[in-house]
């Protein structure tokens, strides 16, 4: 086998299409928003840019979940926790950026702390006035939690539904903790009223477009990282563990180390997704930890097609577009629709959208390649 | 047992007992396998054959007794991955291969070498020479199925693939659990041939029910019953043994 350049080895057909679409979005959406007049039918309004940015941050969360669920069989029902932690790290930076411009005008303390009569900044808020530190925490906090959680869970060989349940318990426990005012993270109101990011006003049109481009870029990079992992031998071992864990163990693989690497990298990706989500929606509160959010992310991956990466991202965008439309048109129906969607996909599209399309394509190819053989056989007779 | 005798074994079990919820699966089991030896283990259901394999491969810890590999390594202190790396390969009763990988990739993952995640992500694990895969595939006669998915193989072919994966590990000792269960007669004969070829360079323990197959292997036989050794010797000697007949035929 000849060695191809890394980028080519990483891109199969659907990967190339995926990155092509992302590149087109990164160029066309900003151009249309900034240059076309608002009356033009091709103009993308600023609210839509942020909405799409939100979907794409969800897509990055779905990608992260697919890495552990699709390739290693770890059904995490708590990935929303890593997303929310990344979001809180970004939220803390944005709060510190407000400075003395809060309602109470305190030079350092965020409004909610002044309201609670706090006298000084809790220790864990220090450093968040610096963007590089906050960016590091976006990766480090979810990564560390996943590492510690995974270390104990995988070493104790907790698998399958038990693992799913404890991941769910983890995000639920965090939600309860973040609801408390004494956590010093804004209690049930969370963090909001952001003003600036890196010195630019968060609400400004140009900032929103820049955040959108940053999200598209992060999604593309996340895809390349995940794709590199799953195409390397590491990815083959992950799939081997998914298919026959004890076989992998008896071949001498340290299954817990392999799972830990995937779980930690995935949690960091989810953290980045959360950090990009927060400035675009303008708020982070404890409901982001709610178990239902994590389960919804699992539905996105299932709908798009697990174990395909591209499918996970597609599923997130498709389901959330449907959600935005349906919660506008018939809000009381959304949860039923989500449940029905999950059942339909499980029963009729177990490989999801992308998996099913790939199957059709393979079948077509098989019949096309079979035909010349028939012709040749006919000619020989 | 003297130290000299101990160091002359590839595997040495002495007085191994293990109890599950009051059920004594192994009862003071003692067994010694010489380097390069092939040994067949037979016994009725519940005799402790699979539990013995679990003990040797680190899946189960014994309540008491000693298990030594190569005369000096205490296996009761190690886990599955460490024991596999030392050179003990195990084939399961039900063929267990990586179904969504190709035959070649199954062998690729099994081949001896670095096994850390780092090596698999960036290192030597990604540069396995194809010739090493081909060599194993030709031994287990799966060369023409190289690029097929393991899931699409027949039952017998999966058994051979798993044996091939064991060989690729380059173990000093192979534990083979019921290799011909569910095989056709032709496949059984071929498997016997294959195992005999493997036994020329490795120590092999075969657990099997099929007496005709054990006869074909032509090696020393150990009969287990209720967790300990009932009889040991050639197949003719053990099948003439009064107590063995009693246990098997339930007289």
Q: Where are the domains positioned within chain A?
A: 6-350
Among the residue ranges A347-356, B5-14, B70-79, B169-178, the one predicted with the least confidence is: B5-14
Q: Is the pLDDT of residue B1 over 50?
A: no
Residue B130: the pLDDT is: 92
| Closest-CA distance of chain A to residue B226, Å | 26
Three-state DSSP state, B66:
strand
Contacts of B57 in chain A (CB under 8 A): 250
Stated pTM of the model: 0.91
Short-list B46, B20, B43, B19, CA closest to B31: B43
pLDDT band at B127 (very low <50, low <70, confident <90, very high): confident
Q: Is the pLDDT of residue A301 over 90?
A: yes
Contacts of A234 in chain B (CB under 8 A): 117, 120-121, 125
Percent of chain A at pLDDT exceeding 90: 81
Q: Does B99 touch chain A (CB under 8 A)?
A: yes
Q: CB-CB: which of B85, B121, B165 is closest to A234?
A: B121
Q: CB-CB: which of A229, A249, A255 is closest to B121?
A: A229
Residue B68: the pLDDT is: 94
Contacts of A229 in chain B (CB under 8 A): 121
Short-list A112, A92, A108, A89, CA closest to A100: A108
Q: Is the pLDDT of residue A121 over 70?
A: yes
CB atoms within 10 A of CB A197: 19
Residue A282: the pLDDT is: 96
Contacts of B111 in chain A (CB under 8 A): none
CB atoms within 10 A of CB A355: 17
Q: Is the pLDDT of residue A378 over 80?
A: no
Contacts of B59 in chain A (CB under 8 A): 246
The residue of A3, A237, A252 whose CB has the most chain B CBs within 10 angstroms, and thus the best one to mutate to test that interface, is: A252
Segment B74-99 shows an average pLDDT of: 92
Contact A82, A318 (CB under 8 A): no
Three-state DSSP state, B241:
coil
Q: Does B96 touch chain A (CB under 8 A)?
A: yes
Among the residue ranges A107-111, A330-334, B37-41, the one predicted with the least confidence is: A330-334
Contact B103, B139 (CB under 8 A): no
DSSP conformation class of B123:
S
Sheet with strand B11-20: strands edge to edge: B23-33, B11-20, B64-69, B73-74
Is B49 or A138 the better-scoring residue by pLDDT?
A138
CA A286/CA A175 separation, integer angstroms: 5
Q: CB-CB: which of A1, A233, A247 is closest to B120?
A: A233
Q: Please give the interface size between A and B, counted as residue pairs whose CB atoms are below 8 Å apart.
A: 82
Segment A15-41 shows an average pLDDT of: 93
CA B8/CA B32 separation, integer angstroms: 9
Q: Is the pLDDT of residue B222 over 60?
A: yes
Segment B74-81 shows an average pLDDT of: 92
Which residue of chain B has the CA closest to A245? B98
Q: State the sign of the Cα–Cα–Cα–Cα dihedral A70, A74, A77, A79.
A: negative
Residue B146: the pLDDT is: 94
Q: Is the pLDDT of residue A1 over 80?
A: no
Segment B123-140 shows an average pLDDT of: 91
Q: CB-CB: which of A229, A250, A257 is closest to B90?
A: A250
* Cα separation values, B190 from A61, B187, B196, Å: 51, 5, 10
Residue A19: the pLDDT is: 95
* β strands within chain A, DSSP E: 191-192, 196-197, 200-201, 283-284
Residues A314-325 have pLDDT tens digits of 999 999 999 999
Contact A82, A145 (CB under 8 A): yes
Residue A12: the pLDDT is: 81
Segment A102-129 shows an average pLDDT of: 93
pLDDT band at A371 (very low <50, low <70, confident <90, very high): low
CA B40/CA B27 separation, integer angstroms: 19
B153: left (phi over 0), alpha (psi -120 to 50) or beta: beta
* Residues from A in contact with B at Cβ < 8 Å: 1, 229, 232-234, 236-237, 239-240, 243-244, 246-255, 257-258, 261
Residue A113: the pLDDT is: 94
Which residue of chain B has the CA closest to A261? B117
């Amino acid at each position: 086998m000849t060695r191809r350049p890394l980028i080519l080895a990483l891109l199969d057909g659907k990967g190339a299409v995926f990155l092509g679409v992302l590149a087109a979005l990164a160029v066309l959406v900003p151009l249309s928003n900034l240059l076309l007049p608002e009356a033009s039918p091709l103009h993308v309004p600023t609210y839509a840019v942020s909405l799409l940015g939100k979907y794409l941050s969800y897509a990055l969360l779905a990608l992260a979940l697919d890495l552990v669920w699709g390739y290693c069989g770890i059904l995490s029902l708590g990935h929303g926790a890593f997303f929310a932690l990344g979001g809180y790290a970004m939220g803390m930076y944005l709060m510190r950026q407000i400075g003395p411009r809060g309602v109470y005008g305190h030079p350092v303390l965020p409004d909610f702390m002044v309201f609670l009569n706090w006298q000084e900044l809790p220790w864990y808020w220090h450093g968040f006035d610096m963007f590089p530190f906050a960016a590091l925490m976006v990766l480090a906090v979810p990564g560390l939690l996943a590492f510690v959680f995974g270390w104990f869970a995988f070493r104790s060989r907790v698998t399958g539904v038990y693992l799913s349940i404890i991941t769910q318990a983890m995000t639920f426990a965090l939600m309860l903790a973040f609801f408390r005012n004494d956590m010093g993270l804004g209690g049930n109101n969370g963090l909001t009223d952001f003003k600036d990011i890196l010195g630019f006003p968060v609400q400004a049109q140009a900032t929103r477009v820049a955040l959108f481009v940053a999200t598209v870029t992060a999604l593309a990079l996340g895809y390349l990282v995940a794709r590199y992992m799953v195409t390397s031998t590491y990815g083959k071992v992950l799939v081997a563990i998914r298919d026959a864990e004890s076989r992998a163990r008896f071949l001498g693989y340290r299954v817990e180390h392999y799972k830990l690497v995937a779980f930690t990298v995935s949690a960091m990706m989810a953290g980045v997704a959360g950090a990009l989500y927060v400035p675009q929606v303008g708020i982070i509160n404890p409901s982001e930890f709610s178990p239902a959010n994590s389960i919804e992310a699992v539905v996105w991956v299932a709908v798009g097609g697990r174990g395909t990466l591209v499918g996970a991202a597609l599923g997130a965008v498709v389901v959330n577009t449907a959600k935005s439309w349906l919660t506008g048109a018939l809000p009381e129906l959304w949860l039923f629709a989500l449940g029905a969607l999950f059942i339909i996909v499980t029963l009729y599209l177990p490989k999801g959208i992308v998996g099913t399309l790939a199957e059709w394509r393979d079948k077509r190819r098989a019949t096309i390649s079979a035909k010349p053989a028939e012709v040749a056989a006919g000619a020989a007779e | 047992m003297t130290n000299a005798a101990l160091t002359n074994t590839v595997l040495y079990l002495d007085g191994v007992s293990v109890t599950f919820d009051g059920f004594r699966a192994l009862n003071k089991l003692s067994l010694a396998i010489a380097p390069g030896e092939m040994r067949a283990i037979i016994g009725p259901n519940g005799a402790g054959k699979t539990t013995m394999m679990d003990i040797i491969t680190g899946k189960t810890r014994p309540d008491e007794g000693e298990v030594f590999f190569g005369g000096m390594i205490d296996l009761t202190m190690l886990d599955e991955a460490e024991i596999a790396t030392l050179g003990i390969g195990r084939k399961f009763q039900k063929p267990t291969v990586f179904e969504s990988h190709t035959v070649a990739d199954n062998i690729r993952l099994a081949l001896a070498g670095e096994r850390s995640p780092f090596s698999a992500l960036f290192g030597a694990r990604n540069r396995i020479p194809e010739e090493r895969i081909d060599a194993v595939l030709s031994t287990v006669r799966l060369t023409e199925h190289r690029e097929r998915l393991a899931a699409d193989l027949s039952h017998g072919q999966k058994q051979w693939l798993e044996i091939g994966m064991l060989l690729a590990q380059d173990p000093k000792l192979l534990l083979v659990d019921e290799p011909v269960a569910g095989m056709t007669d032709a496949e059984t004969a071929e498997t016997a041939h294959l195992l005999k070829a493997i036994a020329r360079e490795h120590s092999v323990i075969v657990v099997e029910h099929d007496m005709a197959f054990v006869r074909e292997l032509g090696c020393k036989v150990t009969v287990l019953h209720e967790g300990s050794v009932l009889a040991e010797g050639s197949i003719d000697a053990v099948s003439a043994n009064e107590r063995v007949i009693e246990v098997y035929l339930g007289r």
